[in-house]
Amino acid sequence: MSDDSATLIKLIADMEEDDAVAMAKQFLDDGMEPADMLEICRSAMDIVGQRFEDQEYFIPELILAGEMLEQIGDMVKPLIAAGAADAADRVSAGTVLIGTVHGDLHDIGKNIVTFMLDVNGFEVIDLGVDVQPQDFVDAIKKDAPPIVGLSGFLTLAFDSMKETVDAITEAGLRDQVKIMIGGGQVDDAILAHTGADAFGVNAMQAVTHCKEWSGAAEA
């Protein structure tokens, strides 16, 4: 990681909104790859999340971090869209149902994944934050999406993810969907705990899973 990238990560994590947004814009204007900018945001949010867990940060800091990432996301999204514009079958990539699981109010990572899926041609049904397991079940019954994404920023979300997967299974819908999880410190152990099919450490990996499951990767 370059010194400049480390500086931007620190600015975001330290809540230096004006300087962080200005530096992000400069990097993108100078030709930084959108994927690299998203990785910087992810790294910064890992720090923010840890500080929240350690009770160094509270809800106001999380809101400010979300506002910063939204501003940076607004700059990144058109660049990603331009890069994806040549994909002939963007419109038919598939449908993904996504939401932040109950007990968690954070939508930063979810929103990044949502717009990455959007610019790659997926129709995204976003249930928002603090979504109860039954709401996921109801949405699967209503819209029949083949892919479900469960997002969670806090460690408490892991049990909520498991409860959601269990609810989908109990409703007899598990064989109809592929489920991916993401956010926080998700790893193979958390994947096994939740019973999901895969996890993404970043938005690009989430898109890759969706493309593989929908067949879009072969198109």
Query: Mean of the per-residue pLDDT values for the chain?
Result: 88
User: Which is higher by pLDDT, 113 or 18?
Assistant: 18
Please tell me the distance from the alpha carbon of residue 15 to that of residue 13, in angstroms, as a whole number: 5
* pLDDT tens profile 125-164: 999 999 999 999 999 999 999 999 999 988 889 999 999 9
Q: In what order do the strands lie in the sheet with 122-126?
A: 122-126, 94-100, 147-151, 178-182, 198-200
Please tell me the distance from the alpha carbon of residue 10 to that of residue 13, in angstroms, as a whole number: 5
| CATH class given for the domain over 3-84 | mainly alpha
CATH 3.40.50.280 residue ranges for the chain: 90-218
Q: Other C-beta atoms within 10 Å of 43: how many?
A: 18
pLDDT at 199: 96
Please tell me the distance from the alpha carbon of residue 82 to that of residue 126, in angstroms, as a whole number: 23
Q: Is CATH 3.90.1640.10 correct for 90-218?
A: no
* pLDDT tens profile 73-125: 889 888 877 776 554 444 558 999 999 999 998 887 888 788 778 877 899 99
Structure tokens at 142: 């209503």
The three-state secondary structure class of 45 is helix
Which residues make beta-bridge pairs with 182? 151, 200
pLDDT above 80: residue 216? no
| Contact of 180 with 197, CB cutoff 8 Å | yes
The three-state secondary structure class of 87 is coil
| Average pLDDT score over residue span 161-175 | 98
CATH 1.10.1240.10 residue ranges for the chain: 3-84
